[in-house]
Structure 1
């Protein structure tokens, strides 16, 4: 091989190594500052569907990336809530609480993870609604006897991205308690309950929740889409003006 070709080859290899290092540094920065691990790469591509103001300083951890409600759906939940005082029982990084605060009198946003509550508070400030939300670090199930509100919003953990591989998602797969127990605890606060559930949830079981009351609660189940892709199911229980 001529010397000139060898020199070009060495330069090419050096350039490739630099590009690989730059790419690795960028990836490490995303993982450290924005919680974008290999597990959530595809969610990062949808970041503006999750938060339209993402570039303003929105913060998420790994779990937040795949558990936050897409903004378009959160807006829908808020519009149908009827206002009043909303209790967000598993607030996470604040996607729903932010939208509820834009139309409600007040929001009580609860999460057991103080790190998530801090991120949710940061995100609420970006949307200018922090004054309408009380962020609480705590266990919803322990706090329930002391809570009062017009609507309870339940969006409990679905078990991570693997939930979609389940053919028929039953309510006992919800965390940290099964859906029936969770619903009964929410009923002790108000009959007006909104549940955001996996797209593959067993709808018959969801309808059965309404029978836990006497007389049975009215229930409406709707499909929630973002850009023609089904993302989840929402069940509206009770007498609130879920228009």
Structure 2
């Protein structure tokens, strides 16, 4: 057990300093034989100051906490699944007018082209008739309709078509788009247009975990079959592909035509983050306008 020596007239102070120890023996020594002691009140102040320093919360984090809670609460109120939470926080990058009533299903959240990139695509085919072969919830079709002569938007899922029509109305371009519920591969022989836009399903968010995204991973058929179906309509083709796509395979596509098509590859960024790769074939690679004036 610890041995504590108390000094006359200072027992109270020393008891406060050594209160956490078990005392077995106490000796009494004249006060005049030892130096002056530090007042207990001062020691208590130092201890409390030390505790307040070590336990002080991060004010910077606390300032943002209520805002984060509000965003999280708003996400839950919309009844969305956890899978799309990441994309919900990017909703204004997907549709700048999201708050006006934009509709998307779960697949639409992670497959729609960000608006900034869709505008870049549309600028390549001003005044053209564009066929959007995998329209989804309308992200690209809306921007094509804003800049092009006419748009044919094909989507096999009728629920997505309803959402795309709703979204086109919000942007005021529904009169410039013909929405068709159907299979692109069955419709391709009867389609006519100046530009074909291809953004086939990438297989969900898991595409990012593949080191090299090969064209056979595209849905519902491999990239070669999709490209050949589009090529039967026009050589002016735009493909929007994953950021980790195998570029050697992409370049091979231009050799499916005789003579080989001109090709241009573009990386697409949103807020300094690489979101995908756009490949322009034929007239879309040669100039910014490929439609009939």
TM-score normalised by L of structure 2: 0.72
| Superposed displacement of residue 103, structure 1 | 0.7
Q: Distance in 1 between matches of 2:265 and 2:73?
A: 45
2:253 counterpart residue number:
209
Q: Distance in 2 between matches of 1:239 and 1:54?
A: 33
**Contact 1:82–1:242 (8 Å) recurs in 2:** no
Aligned residues: CA RMSD: 1.7
2:268 counterpart residue number:
224
Q: Distance in 2 between matches of 1:78 and 1:25?
A: 35
**Contact 2:131–2:152 (8 Å) recurs in 1:** yes
1:71 counterpart residue number:
115
Q: Distance in 2 between matches of 1:88 and 1:50?
A: 17
> How many pairs are equivalent?
218
**Superimposed CA distance per residue, residues 119-175 of structure 1 (whole angstroms, 9 cap, x where no aligned partner):** 000000000000000000000000001100000000000000000000000000000
Confirm whether residue 154 of structure 1 aligns to residue 198 of structure 2: yes
2:280 counterpart residue number:
236
**Superimposed CA distance per residue, residues 24-58 of structure 1 (whole angstroms, 9 cap, x where no aligned partner):** 99665422xxxx21001010000000000000000
TM-score normalised by L of structure 1: 0.87
Q: Structure 2, unaligned stretches of length 5 or more?
A: 1-70, 289-293
Change (3 A) 1:152 1:25: same
Q: Structure 1, unaligned stretches of length 5 or more?
A: 1-22
Confirm whether residue 141 of structure 1 aligns to residue 189 of structure 2: no
| Superposed displacement of residue 81, structure 1 | 1.9
Question: Which SS does the other structure have where 1:58 is aligned?
Answer: coil
Question: Which SS does the other structure have where 1:230 is aligned?
Answer: strand
Q: Distance in 1 between matches of 2:127 and 2:251?
A: 24
Q: Distance in 2 between matches of 1:113 and 1:38?
A: 23
